[in-house]
Structure 1
Amino acid sequence: MNTKSIRFAAVMAAVIGAFAFQASAATVTTTGTGVGKDGDIKVQVTFDANKIQSIKVLSQNENPVLAEKVFTDLKDNVVKTNSTDLDAISGATFSSKGFLAAVKDAAKKAGVTLTKDGQKSLKKAASMIPAKSTYDVVVVGAGGAGFAAAIEAKNTGASVVMLEKMPTVGGNSLISGAEMNAARNWVQPKLGILDDSAERHAQDTYIGGDKKGDLEVIRTMTGNALSAAKWARDYIGVRFEPDNLFMFGGHTRKRALIPYGQTGTEFITKLYAKANELKIPVITNMKAVELIKDASGRVVGVKATMNGQNYEFDAKGGVVLATGGFGHNAAMVKKYDPSLDERFKSTDSPSATGEALYMAERAGAELVNMQYIQTYPICDPVSGSIELIADARFDGAILINQKGQRFVEELGRRDVISHAILAQPGSYCWVLWNDKIGNISKTVEAHPDEYSVFTKTGTMKTCGDLKCIAEFTKIPYSNLKATIDRVDSMTGPGNDKDFHNRGGLVDMSQGKYYVVKAVPSIHHTMGGIRINPKSQALDKNGKVIPGLYAAGEVTGVTHGTNRLGGNAYADILVFGRIAGEGAAWDALSLGKTAK
């Protein structure tokens, strides 16, 4: 090779090398952080030529069910559109915002400008769902009752599909405390409770609802609650605390089993996993809009919509409505109880909007007890959500007003406590407990996210002494001290001379002390579809509407005027199972659909 050739080769090598360097330099990986609902979300984002190539979630503490589609669908759409200007996943707004903020943070560090208005550029992929399909059983709603119905229908031998209008499953069943009443359960003997019974549970429920519930339906719930709890434990895999029970207001015995984590996440994650194991299709973002009836009056399917497209799901055996109540629909709440106006927030999932009730009514079902709407007494003044950390009241925490005085039995009925709080100065109260109580109930340990959030928002405080509590709450110290001294003089079961706390007061003479501010929020709608003990929907004449079943909060005859705490999960699992099995047997008797 001559000198000119050598020089030319050297120059070309340098040029090629420079291009190679520039190409490699265009690929950049950075990390970013955003704040989700339950803490920081940290991501690692790889960019190439100013475009997102991949996103890896390094750490997050979000609810695994609610936030599932944030870290799948939303993440994929961010990459697809090269934009964080996208709509949040409904039901997981704060998780979505935290994730998008984390990606923005990573882009800023990388010096990358993302695309604006990604939502407009996002094109929906063509759906693989046929416009019309046929199953033995169609379940509307993917909460606890829906999953129980679908699993039982499948195990009875039916083909089944679940339709959920939200992007994620779970509904109120996911975000509840999820304690489940079951008389004569396996924990009661460990606590010396040997005289409970399904009938005692039924009477507590009937009386707690002011005798407005259907006692035959109530007895079906209480008589099958223990078998449903064992089914959840042994077949579904739900873990319960082995040596602890809650005693909610209105009950005469401790009987509420407590799931690990003290939320519905333990139930829903296990129910969802079982549905997947059984290969039950769960179609999210699919909103049921109308029930289909044949010439004989039998319900034989559901019309639904997704992304503006219409679908029909025919059901040979029947349709199970498990869509929950209407506690998140402020206009509907006010319609049936005008006193529950705009002042009230809601503890409920965004899915609890009640349109399925009118869908059932158009199909001939009778709606009953719609005016009975429950507020949960102990909720966050900022968000309206239940303060699960304040479940310490079931183990001795006291409720005090702004004067530092107790004003109601802490284990009273939810409606009684709510009305009592609304009658106090400012229509709020303080929940106060100490480490002696906290070590029994382990509430702070079970809900560290709440402890952190409520402390940051200024509604909760931890103190070493009562003077610190008085300063934080602005309650006169002398009043607060007098109340604690009074409590300490009446400790133990049966000694509360002022409000007759049925669980017994606990010595609070020494701290640490915990206090949290609380207000009532809309929580449960007792009204809904009239059903019989077989979970069949009834018309205004009490006749069965063939092919239509209902379970859970969408029904209206179990709880009367007031649902007792711990009865929701008993209700949804017992009647969900009954409805699913009944619809499946209908399909088998009519000739099972080939699948």
Structure 2
Amino acid sequence: MSDERKDGKDLSRRDFLKSTGTAAIAAGMVAGSLTAFTRDAEAAWDTMPKKWDETHDVIVVGTGFAGLAAAIEARHAGAEVLVIDKMRTHGGNSIINGGEMASVGNRFQKEAGIQDSPELLLKDMLKAGSNLNHPELVKMCAERSGEALDWCEQFVGAKFVKLVYHGGHSVKRSVQTDNASGSGLVNPLFAKAKAMGVKFLFTTKMERLVTNKEGRVVGMEIRKGYKFPDDKSGKVAFLKARKAVVLGSGGFSQNVVLRQIHDPRIDARFDSTNHPGATGEATLAACMIGAMDVQMDWIQMGPWTSPDEKGFGQVPQFCERLVGYGPMIDPKTGRRFIQETGNRKVRADAMMALGYNTIIFSDEVNVKRQVLAHTLEKGMANGAIRKYDTIEELAAAYGIPLAPFKEELAKWNSYVAAKKDPDFNCKIFPETTPLQQGPFYVARLWPRVHYTMGGLVINKDAQVKGFNMKPIQGLYAAGESTGGVHGAVRLGTCSMLSCVVFGRIAGKNAANEKPWG
């Protein structure tokens, strides 16, 4: 579509939306969460409220890693900041995240003598993303990963205590919070923001973004007292943003209708690791004022979740700590079927192709060396992780044919001894030991929807771009509400990294916007 009209004037967002607004509104109605947009298309974007109920310099949507990082940096830059969240408590999806962040050159790598570089992280992220990543965005993450960790620890006060490995990385470079949970970063971020004077409004849902005649974002229509998921609940109010709005509102993994629009295969049979509010309305609201979206059909399945527990659970921390330390087995054949240290998409696709649950297991020596004690205890308490004294007992419990299973275990042990896997090229770590005697710990695996790679198009300054390829003034975004950073597949532990990096950029730049009106 040309950006110029026959009269030589630029095609504005308003002109574009006059011609495409009906289709955009229909998409919102299908998603079932943007009922406010069923009014006349042009009026939905051009009508300014008669009265603003509140005014703030910067308004941030979302209280996860990205939103809180943005709020802190905006406040640090001198802005008066309000953060809203439609849920009753802070944290969003970030608070139930695994608490692991990729960081190049961290102190744990140095202690272990691991050689790493931003260039290697960049290469790994591009490889995982099938080179669909927007290069300038990935480069920002890779180059600022060390700085991001320093900021989290030294300025925010979060504690990272351990170096861990995730499939798809060339080396161990990810650091884990002291409680192996995203809450280990979210809670310090929230406390820091409050201490700095950032204001918060919960049970407050953004209905739509308000723009002026020039297409600048000037505020938003909200519902105060919103009770998720009742879209009719709460009282309508208008918030003015003197400088800018930042969207740190997360993805849409829990919106089954919306994700099926982009990938019809991912229907209600597939649960999600995400919190219930991960439904994507804020991303759609931005699209409806002319923001461009990208890669919405790239939806990541987590291959490390268990059908024996709900949500994210304990098994992801059990499984990911054991890749390279224990085999994944097809219980119908007793054989390995995939590279355990491969990326998430490769493993999830292999499981979905089989069409039934698989298992991962290891012995007590490897498990207790790699898996946190409280993860093991909680997983065993809820029944998702189980313990067997012998291989025979394990095989009987999961209906695994014993003879081929024993043959496969013998091969695995020989590969561990040689530190090389000729079958699937699994990364075997120096400290991995053969599985020679029980007890053995095991968990069943089945994929869940974990991350939506697509979202709003941003530039390296975290500005949201419109269909005229120019930044929409007054609108920034970071985290899972954006697309382009991760390409086809997000490399594990790079979500927290991208949220912190671009959240900080968005907050600082939003605070430096020239006030309007």
Q: TM-score range by the shorter chain?
A: 0.7 to 0.9
Q: Give 1:493 shift.
A: 7.1
Is the Cα contact below 8 Å between 2:70 and 2:506 reproduced in 1? yes
Is the Cα contact below 8 Å between 2:165 and 2:321 reproduced in 1? no
Distance 2:488 2:243 in 1: 33
Q: Which string of whole-angstrom CA distances, capped at 9 and with x for unpartnered residues, describes residues 440-493 of structure 1?
A: 21334345323311x2xxx43201211121121121222222221111111157
Distance 1:521 1:328 in 2: 11
2:338 to 404, 408, 415: 408
1:480 aligns with 2:405: yes
Instruction: Identify the residue that residue 445 of structure 1 maps to in structure 2.
Output: 374
| Structure 1 counterpart SS, 2:66 | helix
1:279 aligns with 2:197: yes
1:577 aligns with 2:468: no
Instruction: Identify the residue that residue 421 of structure 1 maps to in structure 2.
Output: 351
Q: Give 1:193 shift.
A: 0.6
Give RMSD over aligned pairs.
Answer: 1.7
Instruction: Identify the residue that residue 181 of structure 1 maps to in structure 2.
Output: 102
Quick one: which amino acid aligns to residue 413 of structure 2? D
Instruction: Identify the residue that residue 553 of structure 1 maps to in structure 2.
Output: 480
1:344 to 239, 264, 270: 270
Is the Cα contact below 8 Å between 2:322 and 2:371 reproduced in 1? no
Instruction: Identify the residue that residue 144 of structure 2 maps to in structure 1.
Output: 224
Matches within 5 A, 1:143-154: 143-154=64-75
| Aligned residue pairs, count | 453
Q: Which string of whole-angstrom CA distances, capped at 9 and with x for unpartnered residues, describes residues 135-158 of structure 1?
A: 110000111100000010001100
Which piece of structure 1 moves more, 548-557 or 180-189?
180-189
Instruction: Identify the residue that residue 357 of structure 1 maps to in structure 2.
Output: 283
Distance 1:215 1:393 in 2: 31
Instruction: Identify the residue that residue 81 of structure 1 maps to in structure 2.
Output: none
Distance 2:433 2:186 in 1: 34
Structure 1 unaligned spans of 5+: 1-129
Instruction: Identify the residue that residue 539 of structure 1 maps to in structure 2.
Output: 466
| Structure 2 counterpart SS, 1:139 | strand
Is the Cα contact below 8 Å between 1:392 and 1:433 reproduced in 2? no
Q: Give 1:398 shift.
A: 1.6
Instruction: Identify the residue that residue 325 of structure 2 maps to in structure 1.
Output: 396
Instruction: Identify the residue that residue 96 of structure 1 maps to in structure 2.
Output: none
Distance 2:467 2:212 in 1: 20
Quick one: which amino acid aligns to residue 153 of structure 2? R
1:299 aligns with 2:217: yes
1:258 aligns with 2:171: no
Distance 1:492 1:264 in 2: 35
Q: Which string of whole-angstrom CA distances, capped at 9 and with x for unpartnered residues, describes residues 372-411 of structure 1?
A: 0000001121425352222232351221011221111111
Q: Give 1:176 shift.
A: 1.0
Distance 1:473 1:131 in 2: 62
Distance 2:339 2:433 in 1: 14
Is the Cα contact below 8 Å between 2:420 and 2:428 reproduced in 1? no
Q: Give 1:362 shift.
A: 1.0
Distance 1:408 1:390 in 2: 14
Quick one: which amino acid aligns to residue 480 of structure 1? F
Q: Give 1:185 shift.
A: 1.2
Structure 2 unaligned spans of 5+: 1-50, 226-233
Distance 1:506 1:368 in 2: 44
Q: Give 1:439 shift.
A: 2.3
Is the Cα contact below 8 Å between 2:166 and 2:320 reproduced in 1? no
Q: Give 1:506 shift.
A: 3.5
Quick one: which amino acid aligns to residue 536 of structure 1? Q
Instruction: Identify the residue that residue 330 of structure 1 maps to in structure 2.
Output: 256
Distance 2:417 2:149 in 1: 31
| Structure 2 counterpart SS, 1:297 | coil
| Structure 1 counterpart SS, 2:243 | strand
Distance 2:171 2:321 in 1: 17
Quick one: which amino acid aligns to residue 342 of structure 2? G
Cα 1:532–1:302 shift into 2, 3 Å: same
Distance 1:445 1:466 in 2: 25
Q: Give 1:166 shift.
A: 0.5
Cα 1:493–1:374 shift into 2, 3 Å: farther
Instruction: Identify the residue that residue 396 of structure 2 maps to in structure 1.
Output: 471
Instruction: Identify the residue that residue 185 of structure 2 maps to in structure 1.
Output: 267
Is the Cα contact below 8 Å between 2:164 and 2:321 reproduced in 1? no
Higher relative contact order (CA 8 A, sep 6+): 2
Q: Give 1:186 shift.
A: 1.4
Is the Cα contact below 8 Å between 2:340 and 2:347 reproduced in 1? yes
Q: Which string of whole-angstrom CA distances, capped at 9 and with x for unpartnered residues, describes residues 165-209 of structure 1?
A: 001111111111021001111110111112x11121111111210
Is the Cα contact below 8 Å between 1:202 and 1:222 reproduced in 2? yes
Distance 1:442 1:167 in 2: 32
Identical residues among aligned pairs (%):
33
Q: Which string of whole-angstrom CA distances, capped at 9 and with x for unpartnered residues, describes residues 564-594 of structure 1?
A: 10100001000000000000011xx438x9x
Rg larger for: 1
Instruction: Identify the residue that residue 294 of structure 2 maps to in structure 1.
Output: 368
Distance 1:392 1:473 in 2: 22
Instruction: Identify the residue that residue 198 of structure 1 maps to in structure 2.
Output: 118
Runs of 4+ in 1 over 3 A off after TM superposition: 443-447, 503-506
Distance 2:220 2:515 in 1: 18
Quick one: which amino acid aligns to residue 389 of structure 1? F
| Structure 2 counterpart SS, 1:228 | helix
Distance 2:155 2:321 in 1: 31
Cα 1:437–1:188 shift into 2, 3 Å: same
Is the Cα contact below 8 Å between 1:323 and 1:356 reproduced in 2? yes
Distance 1:526 1:339 in 2: 16
TM-score when scaled to structure 2? 0.85
Is the Cα contact below 8 Å between 1:389 and 1:444 reproduced in 2? no
Q: Which string of whole-angstrom CA distances, capped at 9 and with x for unpartnered residues, describes residues 225-268 of structure 1?
A: 11111110111111111xx3222222112111111121111111
Q: Give 1:427 shift.
A: 1.9
| Structure 2 counterpart SS, 1:508 | coil
TM-score when scaled to structure 1? 0.74
Distance 2:73 2:94 in 1: 18
Cα 1:445–1:481 shift into 2, 3 Å: farther
| Structure 2 counterpart SS, 1:409 | coil
Q: Which string of whole-angstrom CA distances, capped at 9 and with x for unpartnered residues, describes residues 50-73 of structure 1?
A: xxxxxxxxxxxxxxxxxxxxxxxx
Quick one: which amino acid aligns to residue 215 of structure 1? P
1:167 aligns with 2:88: yes
Is the Cα contact below 8 Å between 1:395 and 1:437 reproduced in 2? no
Distance 1:397 1:571 in 2: 30
Distance 1:493 1:310 in 2: 66
Quick one: which amino acid aligns to residue 321 of structure 1? L
Distance 1:479 1:493 in 2: 21
Distance 1:503 1:235 in 2: 36
Quick one: which amino acid aligns to residue 372 of structure 2? T
Distance 2:322 2:469 in 1: 41
